[in-house]
Chains A and B, each alone.
Chain A
């Protein structure tokens, strides 16, 4: 199951369930908490309407079903652009065209609704993932016939970034926005920085780090969002199967949550080759046996 937030809720903290995980915001001024919550909820709702893979009325689903492409909103264009940029940056390790594979494996609805369902059939047919076949020209999005985009790997992180920026811009307050493993900050940080507990599953190795103002942190996991033995949501586009459990989790710090999530997701797909990619990026890999590798200046 996805992250269950167990940290206490204080006067400057709010949290609620969203997208099969937990949304949590922390503000530097508790008097702005209510207004910040409204802004974040609004931002998340807009992202959901634009790019949910599970809503037949989402703009993304309509775009995927429209032959020849269609004009899309600036928000969806931004989210698709982010997904395609992540695919290019990672050499296709983070590929938004794996939506059909995920659906075929049984992840075809909000995660909270699929846990405990029987495994999908063993033989499946799906288009070979290839993000380069997706065209975004200005506001015109064209998706190859039969391809279902899944922006989950990048859209949640982008949503955290967007929400944090919105709160700071509109309310002039420092804020941390956490959407499960994806954490974005904006504005001033509390004295000493934002304190983030990094831990995937209960019983996994854990540590608490401090993030400077504006920094972000993302954790991706092969252990969370499992709905059947051997099935989880991080897909290797080259095999069409969930990535091998080389790493239990990968955590990466960057100046945007989108950048951090792109690398943490790619790390799980790359397996052993992830260490080269992350050598100069503050990152933390937990092996299948629970050992911890810290790279790029991640504190001991």
Chain B
């Protein structure tokens, strides 16, 4: 996904969520997002919002099959 495509999707998602909060139709945001997504087989999307300074900066490990521990629902 190139930068322009990513930006368009982020803008579309943001607008959809704002619209959902105004109208109360809370399903609109996700429906709009899902409609703009390609077939989901792995992680595909992100927003451009940044972390606040009092949050830890986490980084991508570069792989998706390893780690020292797993964080999953429990």
State the A residues within 8 Å of B (CB).
2-3, 5-7, 13, 20-22, 24, 26, 156, 176, 178-183, 190, 193-201, 205-212, 214-225, 246, 249, 251, 253-255, 271-273, 275-276, 279-282, 287, 289-300
Report yes or no: A181 in contact with B29, Cβ–Cβ below 8 A: no
Report yes or no: B51 in contact with A296, Cβ–Cβ below 8 A: yes
Q: Which of A7, A208, A212 contacts B64 (CB 8 A)?
A: A208
Report yes or no: B64 in contact with A273, Cβ–Cβ below 8 A: no
Report yes or no: A208 in contact with B72, Cβ–Cβ below 8 A: no
B57 at the A interface (CB under 8 A): yes
Q: Given the complex of chains A and B, what is the CA–CA distance between A300 and B60 in angstroms?
A: 7
Report yes or no: B71 in contact with A217, Cβ–Cβ below 8 A: yes
Residues of A near B29 (CB, < 8 A) are 272, 275
Q: List 27 A-B contacts (CB under 8 A).
A: A7-B66, A13-B68, A20-B74, A26-B68, A179-B74, A183-B69, A196-B71, A197-B65, A197-B66, A199-B72, A208-B60, A208-B64, A209-B58, A210-B60, A212-B56, A219-B71, A219-B73, A221-B72, A222-B73, A223-B73, A249-B72, A272-B29, A276-B21, A289-B34, A289-B40, A292-B44, A297-B58
Question: Given A196-B70, A280-B55 in contact, is the A271-B26 Cβ separation under 8 Å?
Answer: yes
Q: Given the complex of chains A and B, what is the CA–CA distance between A273 and B70 in angstroms?
A: 27
Report yes or no: B49 in contact with A297, Cβ–Cβ below 8 A: yes
Report yes or no: A183 in contact with B58, Cβ–Cβ below 8 A: no
The B46-65 residues at the A interface (CB cut-off 8 A) are: 46-47, 49-52, 54-65
**Could you tell me the distance in whole angstroms from the C-beta of B3 to the nearest C-beta in chain A?**
12
Give the size of the chain B interface in residues (CB under 8 angstroms): 43
Q: Given the complex of chains A and B, what is the CA–CA distance between A197 and B40 in angstroms?
A: 19
Question: Given A207-B60, A287-B30 in contact, is the A181-B74 Cβ separation under 8 Å?
Answer: yes
Q: Which of B26, B69, B73, B74 contacts A196 (CB 8 A)?
A: B69
Residues of B near A273 (CB, < 8 A) are 21, 26
Residues of B near A22 (CB, < 8 A) are 74
Report yes or no: B51 in contact with A197, Cβ–Cβ below 8 A: no
Q: Which of A271, A276, A293 contacts B45 (CB 8 A)?
A: A293
B54, closest chain A residue (CB): A255
Report yes or no: A197 in contact with B67, Cβ–Cβ below 8 A: yes
Report yes or no: A208 in contact with B65, Cβ–Cβ below 8 A: yes
User: What 9 new A-B contacts, CB under 8 Å, besides A198-B71, A291-B37?
Assistant: A22-B74, A195-B61, A197-B66, A208-B60, A208-B64, A212-B57, A279-B47, A289-B40, A295-B47
A214, closest chain B residue (CB): B56
**Could you tell me the distance in whole angstroms from the C-beta of A132 to the nearest C-beta in chain B?**
26
Q: Given the complex of chains A and B, what is the CA–CA distance between A180 and B22 in angstroms?
A: 37
Residues of B near A215 (CB, < 8 A) are 56, 58
Q: Given the complex of chains A and B, what is the CA–CA distance between A178 and B69 in angstroms?
A: 7
Report yes or no: B68 in contact with A2, Cβ–Cβ below 8 A: no
Q: Given the complex of chains A and B, what is the CA–CA distance between A192 and B66 in angstroms?
A: 14
